[in-house]
Structure 1
Amino acid sequence: MDKTDYQKSLSYAKFQVIKKALNTILDNVFTPHLEIVFFTRFNGVVMPDYLKESYPTQMLIILQHQFFGLKVLEDKFSVSLSFRGKQEQVTVPFFAISEFHDKISGDTLVFSVDSDKEYESEKCAEKSSNGSIISIDQLYDK
């Protein structure tokens, strides 16, 4: 097994943890607190155009109090969230996720970008020197 195969294997295991966490909140009555950061231009991400314009590289969604219709599939999940007072459905392939935070357990999963996957834009984000992901747009004054 080479380094790339090893990284893919670890990412797959992390995605299984996310799927398990999402499936768990489907079946329980407690209030979760999951924060999921994903690439908005990743192939397979489905969200309204105005949200892609507002979040051209990455977006953070929080599954805590006001989310509806969560569906967990083999390779993605979808959920309805409120934006600007309107419910909108967002579909996120697991491979589009860059960070996953479970605030109840304190667990955090961080993913490296898989260069084998296709993006709608050439470059979604740059890593800063401290390792956190920042949007290129944040580097420019608006």
Structure 2
Amino acid sequence: MKKQYFRFVVFLAVLGVVLLVVVDIGRKIYVNHLKSAPPQTQILDRIDSDLMPPTSSNPPSSQVDKLEEATDFNYPTFQSRFTLEFRSHPPVQKLRVQNLDSYQLFCLNEILKTRHIDFATDTKGRATTLIIYLPRTPIRQALLNDLSYYKIPYKLD
């Protein structure tokens, strides 16, 4: 009972400290926002000056004249550079196991799935060919030994 009460008190203390930190950060952000905002009178003066008609005696120039006087602008752009690094794949060797019956195909499928070896099947008529993509690792030699042990004929490409 005392442990639970102690844990609850510690939890409340930590929660209170976190709440105080969040409130302090929020207050600082709010105060900085108020300092950076221009006074309301400056905004009203700027709006009034924009709405007032020009007092010059020159007639208003046309849009075409303004376009002729326009200078080149440098628009802001963001330049990004990306580098793509592809994983290097170990060299792969194809192993073809031809003329499999359904039981052999099922057993080899399960073995290849458990060892996470990529393979494909090609069925033409009643003949099924299993194409195994062997990486050059110890798994390769173990699979070749298994095929030899079970007397399953294979051909390396």
Tell me: higher relative CO, structure 1 or 2? Use CA pairs within 8 A at least 6 residues apart: 1
Which protein is richer in strand relative to its size? 1
TM-score relative to the length of structure 1: 0.21
Which protein is richer in helix relative to its size? 2
Q: Which has the larger radius of gyration?
A: 2
